[in-house]
């Protein structure tokens, strides 16, 4: 059973790295205003990137994504070093990914309903956050199940 949780951790790590790379790419595009980075013919990244919704208090949304993905990767890294706090770390990860998915839903709504343009790189980030959220749920459930099994083994 441990292998399954390790597999989920690997998936989480890979997806968080993909999200980080995507967010860095979008931040570079936003800061440099390099229209060619939007890859013509693939959605309308430029319109989304230059909309009023692409920043929060002057900070590019993609830069917030960088911070979020880095925090998730940091939590994955420290998880094994603080095994007594693994449950809390998994709960924090779940909270972060839940916040991320809610914000992604809001941003996707803005793209479709308000901006009337869809950025494929934003879609990648939304998918990455969705996968991270599902993995966070599964990893938390798996950890609780393993903890319960350990307790039953000690009491049995």
| Domains of the chain, each with CATH number or no CATH | 2-155 (1.20.1440.130)
pLDDT band at residue 1, thresholds of 50, 70 and 90? Answer: very low
Mean pLDDT of the chain: 90
Whole-number Å distance between alpha carbons of 46 and 129: 22
Beta strand 59-60 with 55-56 is antiparallel
Give which of 75, 101, 99, 73 is closest to 89, Cα–Cα: 75
Q: Return the ∠ at Cα 127 (arms to 51 and 32), rounded to 5°.
A: 35
Whole-number Å distance between alpha carbons of 70 and 61: 14
pLDDT band at residue 155, thresholds of 50, 70 and 90? Answer: low
Going from the C-alpha of 156 to that of each of 144, 148, 152, 153, the distances in angstroms are 18, 12, 6, 5
Lowest-confidence segment of 2-6, 42-46, 52-56, 130-134 by average pLDDT? 2-6
pLDDT band at residue 149, thresholds of 50, 70 and 90? Answer: low
Percent of the chain with pLDDT over 90: 77
For the stretch 117-134, pLDDT in tens is 999 999 999 999 999 999
| Residue 82 pLDDT greater than 90, yes or no | no
pLDDT band at residue 3, thresholds of 50, 70 and 90? Answer: very low
Q: What average pLDDT score do residues 87-97 get?
A: 95
Whole-number Å distance between alpha carbons of 82 and 77: 10
**pTM as predicted:** 0.88
């Amino acid at each position: 059973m441990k292998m399954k949780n390790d597999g989920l951790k690997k998936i989480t790590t890979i997806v968080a790295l993909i999200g980080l790379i995507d967010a860095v790419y979008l931040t570079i595009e936003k800061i440099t205003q390099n229209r060619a980075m939007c890859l013509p013919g693939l959605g309308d990244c430029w319109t989304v990137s230059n909309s009023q919704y692409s920043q929060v208090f002057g900070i590019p949304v993609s830069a917030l994504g960088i911070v979020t993905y880095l925090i998730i990767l940091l939590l994955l890294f420290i998880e094994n070093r603080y095994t007594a706090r693994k449950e809390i770390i998994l709960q924090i990860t779940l909270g972060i990914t839940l916040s991320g998915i809610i914000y992604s839903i809001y941003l996707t709504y803005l793209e479709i309903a308000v901006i009337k343009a869809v950025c494929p790189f934003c879609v990648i980030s939304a998918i990455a956050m969705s996968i991270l959220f599902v993995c966070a749920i599964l990893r938390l459930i798996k950890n609780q199940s393993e903890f319960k099994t350990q307790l039953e083994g000690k009491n049995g």
